[in-house]
């Protein structure tokens, strides 16, 4: 790991970031959405692939940070569950679509829950297609929704596939309210 990136995984920074994901108020004690070990595990993956533009919002906490953390953690775990090394270029490129699809599903199911808690109901497709962190179609890439729907069709309901053009401004406002912005 290059020396200038080692600071991004500083244990004190990871502990501080993990504290941003504590949810206090549960009668049985605090609930943690993540911890320093999971942050380090995810940070190593992002730093390895020179994707610190995703890592910095994770360290900032909140729904936006957790969304990115959940995506990248899930993607790395999917590679490992398939017996692949997520840090190996051949494994990464040869299996990217199915692993990325699993991460998209985990991330956007979480975002559906957040939207519902804010009084909005959006389909999975609407959330994926309008996520400012996502990769829309272009330059030979079919886009995140095309990858998710092609790789995990049995995990999607008819309602997940729905898209109402009238919801587009509402979905974009949802993301704006949460501080999402294009990262690449």
Distance CA 116, CA 170 (A): 13
Mean pLDDT of 44-70: 93
- Residues 160-183 have pLDDT tens digits of 999 999 999 999 999 999 999 887
Where along the chain do its domains lie? 95-184
Mean pLDDT for the chain? Answer: 90
- Residues 123-144 have pLDDT tens digits of 999 999 999 999 877 777 789 9
What are the beta bridge partners of residue 138? 141
């Amino acid at each position: 790991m290059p020396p200038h990136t080692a600071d991004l995984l500083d244990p004190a920074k990871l502990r501080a970031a993990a504290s941003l994901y504590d949810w206090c108020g549960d009668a049985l004690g605090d609930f943690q959405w993540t911890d320093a070990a999971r942050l380090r595990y995810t940070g190593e993956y992002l730093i390895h692939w020179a994707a610190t533009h995703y890592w910095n919002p994770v360290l900032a906490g909140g729904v936006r940070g957790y969304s990115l953390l959940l995506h990248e953690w899930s993607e790395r775990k999917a590679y490992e569950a398939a017996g692949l090394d997520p840090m190996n270029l051949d494994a990464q490129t040869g299996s990217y679509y199915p692993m990325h699809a699993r991460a998209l599903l985990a991330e956007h199911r979480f975002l559906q829950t957040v939207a519902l808690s804010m009084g909005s109901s959006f389909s999975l497709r609407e959330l994926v297609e309008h996520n400012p962190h996502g990769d829309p179609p272009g330059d030979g890439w079919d886009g995140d929704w095309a990858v998710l729907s092609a790789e995990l069709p049995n995990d999607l309901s008819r309602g997940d596939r729905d898209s109402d053009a009238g919801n587009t401004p509402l979905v974009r406002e949802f993301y704006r309210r949460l501080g999402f912005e294009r990262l690449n």
